[in-house]
Structure 1
Amino acid sequence: MPRKPNYDRNELIDRARDLFWQRGWAGTSLKDLEAALQMKPGSFYAAFGSKDALFELALKKYASDGLERLIALAQEHGPIKALQRFPAMAIRNKSAPAKACMLSKTLLELQAHRHPLAHEANLHLLRMEQQFAELFQQAQSDGAIDGSHDPRTLARRYQSDVLGLRVSAERDGVDANAIAAEIAEGLTRL
């Protein structure tokens, strides 16, 4: 009878996510993962199969956590307030290993190599864009923004602004909080 693992799989995926988020796919070796997860090579392969398989799980966890935070914010404050608060929330996470979005970092790192994980990152970005579009559509239904705007166009522009903000937050001398406030203020003019 196989032994039951003596680890929390979700906690290991969280640790791997943070390492990949900070260092990227190429910058994270199997030895780095084994050390961070405190696993021997055989246990690592038995638990996750490969570095790519673990990276895919980490991307999925990162994306689902972001969607859950956005949905919770919308449930608590309504769609337009959630969209206004989300940019500042994205850059103020003190426990995040990086300010830049893990999905966009992955897409930029791996797309040139046509690595399948770049496609996965893009799919997660598209899901987040769809969620933004749904929130813009709800805001239109609530009368918070003009109904003449295309919610998908607003969502693409908004996501682009938030991703740019997150890259700017990594730079020295950039007041990312001011940019987040500008994004929020811009939504009031819709």
Structure 2
Amino acid sequence: MPRKPNHDRDELIERARDLFWRRGWAGTSLKDLEASLQMKPGSFYAAFGSKEALFALALDKYAADGAARLQTLAQSYGAVEALKRFPHMAIANDSAPAKACMLSKTLLELHAHDHPLAAKANEHLLRMETQFAQLFRQAQADGDVAACHDPQVLARRYQSDLLGLRLSAEREGVNAVEIAQEIADGLTRDMPAHIPQQ
């Protein structure tokens, strides 16, 4: 019978995600990964093939977890309340490797080099934008957001605000909680009133 793997694959991907999230692509060496995952080079290559392949899995894990958290909020509290709570959730985890979004960090680091991982990060960001737009459509159907506004435009603005919030949370002297609250308050007040349709 085949031997059972010494490590749970999902746990290894999660640990790799945290390392990549904190240090980025260039700042994470194969030696770093082998040490963090407690794997020898042969086992690492047998399990994941390459650093790039593992980074892609880490991006998938990061994006899937974020989408699941937002979906859980929506199921528990409704669309507009999920959108209000999500900015606070994004910066609330003090044990996270970084406050800034891993997808945006990857895009910024690798886009100029036309690296395939930059395109992958962008695809995940676009999927998140689509998920936000779906929630704005639901919020409009619920009567919480004015129906005259384009949900895709609202989603784009919301995502931009969220990414800016997460970057601000990395800076000393910035009250990210206040910014998160401003984003939440604007959803049913300023945002629908002041974002023009495109």
Pick the TM interval, shorter chain. Answer: over 0.9
2:195 counterpart residue number: none
Post-superposition Cα deviations, 1:48-107, rounded to whole Å, max 9, x if no partner, equal: 000000000000000000000000000000000000000011001122100000000000
Q: Which residue is 2:131 aligned to? A: 131
Query: By how many angstroms is 1:2 displaced?
Result: 5.2
Whole-angstrom distance in 2 between the partners of 1:13 and 1:137: 34
What is residue 177 of structure 1 aligned with on the other side? 177
In structure 2, the residue matched to 1:44 is: 44
Quick one: which amino acid aligns to residue 86 of structure 2? F
Residue identity opposite 2:164 in structure 1: G
CA displacement, residues 20-62 of structure 1 (integer Å, 9 cap, x when unaligned): 0000000000000000000000000000000000000000000
User: How many residues are paired up?
Assistant: 190
Corresponding residue for residue 141 of structure 2? 141
- Where does residue 27 of structure 1 map in the other structure? 27
2:117 aligned with 1:117: yes
RMSD: 0.8
Q: Measure how far apart 1:7 and its partner are.
A: 1.1
* Structure 1: gaps spanning 5 or more residues: none
Counterparts of 1:90 and 1:102, CA distance in 2: 12
Counterpart residue type for residue 76 of structure 2:
E
Between the aligned partners of 1:157 and 1:75, the Cα distance in structure 2 is 23
TM-score (norm 1): 0.98
Unmatched runs of 5 consecutive residues or more in structure 2: 193-198
User: How big is the shift at 1:4?
Assistant: 3.4
Counterpart code for 2:81: K
Q: Which residues in structure 2 correspond to 1:1-190 (within 5 Å)? A: 3-189=3-189, 190=192
Q: Quick one: which amino acid aligns to residue 51 of structure 1?
A: K
Measured in 1, the distance between the counterparts of 2:4 and 2:53 equals 21
Percentage identity across aligned positions?
Answer: 75
Describe the superposition over 1:100-154 as per-residue Cα deviations: whole angstroms up to 9, x where unpaired: 0000000000000000000000000000000000000000001011000000000
Q: Give the alignment's TM-score, normalised by structure 2.
A: 0.94
